[in-house]
Amino acid sequence: MQPFTLADLTRLPSSNVAGTRTHQVARKTNGSGLIDGVLNKGGLTVSLRSPTSRETLLERTCTRVDEPELRIIGDIQGHAYGFCEVFAGETREGLKVVIESHRRYSADPQGNASALKRFHRQALICVDLSHRNIAPFLGVFSSDKVPYACVFKSVGKSSLPEYLVGNPGAARLKLLVEVARGLYHIHDLGIVHGSIRGTNIRVDDHGTARIAGFASATLPNIISEDVDEFVESRWCSPELLDPDGFGLTRAKGTRASDMYAFGMLAYEIFSGRMPFHDLQGAAVVIAVVTRNERPPRPPHRELSGQLWAMIERSWQTDPSQRPTIQEFVTLLEDKDRDVRLQLYNHRA
């Protein structure tokens, strides 16, 4: 693969204008639908189910970070999950990065094949993302400690829950608007994030929310996979928790299931608590699937009745009845302008 150079690192923009695409070091070509574009050129004639074909596509689209250019500093506490470990890293030039490594199981060939598939999937999806509300993807990395890893530019020291604890007066509607814009970009590319929750949202040094944690992302019809068993049930929609009850043979993430999770994230932001914070394990599944329970409305001055109604719609049992992210963005931007105008008039 093309080497990852220090000159490339220094040219990487700190943020991108919403809705636009600028050059990133991970991208070898520009324009939307990068994976589709490579496939449609006829250069890849075998199924992406083949590790060889995925590696071929990876060669054409991603940049590899050479080990001498990057060192691992340590684990990022609270951000390891199931099949993925998360490390803090740093380049020779001092650029802080986040390394998401898919676990390798030395005694389990089948497990290793699954880890390689997840790694390929994440890299091929992330290479086409460029938005100011998404953590910038830099490339792929491999070492003895982290054999299958994706590298992202570090965009802040705090996850969203940590940021809210340290900044209780933060403008929460603004943060939700920023996440919505990032998710709109993701869904607009046909990508399903698969793990929208507070710990997968980073807040940068300017107080801007950015979506991270793409280890569960899928690109339906091109790169897809069943929902992983380690996905946290508090943010999971009913059809993911009980696919049989919905006539499904298996649980697969969709944009509708992302919207359910986005509603739970909205609850997190306005309440400062995890969904179903008083329940543990299977009790969450029983509450959602069997009793059709959802979190109560948290008291917050920025949470209007209209917005709460849309959040409740995002929790509909029937996925087709949930709002799209475009509907959320339209409403949220209107509400955010109203709140900012009220603050301006109050100060005046």
pLDDT single digits (tens) 284-327: 999 999 999 999 999 999 999 999 999 999 999 999 999 999 99
202 shares a domain with 90: no
pLDDT tens figures, 234-274? 999 999 999 999 998 888 899 999 999 999 999 999 999 99
273 shares a domain with 227: yes
Task: Report pLDDT for 44.
Answer: 36
Residue 118 in this model has a pLDDT that exceeds 90 = no
10 Å CB burial of residue 160 (0-12, 13-18, 19+) is buried
pLDDT tens figures, 129-138? 899 999 999 8
Q: How many other CB atoms sit within 10 Å of the CB of residue 348?
A: 5
Task: Report pLDDT for 134.
Answer: 97
Q: Which two tokens stand for residue 1?
A: 């693969």
Alpha-carbon distance of 270 to 311, in angstroms, equals 11
250 shares a domain with 141: no
- Phi and psi of 201, rounded to 5°? -115, 125
Residue 117 in this model has a pLDDT that exceeds 90 = no
Q: Which two tokens stand for residue 274?
A: 């995890």
- The number of distinct structural domains making up the chain is 2
Percentage of the chain beyond pLDDT 70 is 69
What CATH code is carried by the domain that includes residue 132? 3.30.200.20
Give the residues across from 87 on adjacent strands: 75, 99
Mean pLDDT of 6-21: 32
Q: Which of 105, 136, 153 is the last residue of a domain?
A: 153
User: Mean pLDDT across the chain, nearest whole number?
Assistant: 78
Give the pLDDT band of residue 335 (cuts 50, 70, 90): confident
Least confident of 19-28, 40-49, 87-96, 100-109: 19-28
The reply to whether 276 falls in a domain is: yes
Give the pLDDT band of residue 346 (cuts 50, 70, 90): very low
Give the pLDDT band of residue 338 (cuts 50, 70, 90): low
Q: Residue 268's domain spans which residues?
A: 158-340
Burial state string for 311-340 with b = 16 or more CB within 10 A and e = fewer than 16: beebbbbebeebbebeebeebbeebbeebe
Task: Report pLDDT for 228.
Answer: 55
The reply to whether 250 falls in a domain is: yes
140 shares a domain with 191: no
The reply to whether 348 falls in a domain is: no
Q: Which of 153, 169, 191 is the last residue of a domain?
A: 153
The reply to whether 5 falls in a domain is: no
Residue 13 in this model has a pLDDT that exceeds 50 = no
Strand runs (DSSP E) across the chain, as ranges?
Answer: 64-65, 70-75, 84-91, 96-102, 137-141, 149-153, 158-159, 201-203, 209-211
10 Å CB burial of residue 221 (0-12, 13-18, 19+) is exposed
221 shares a domain with 141: no
55 shares a domain with 204: no
280 shares a domain with 189: yes
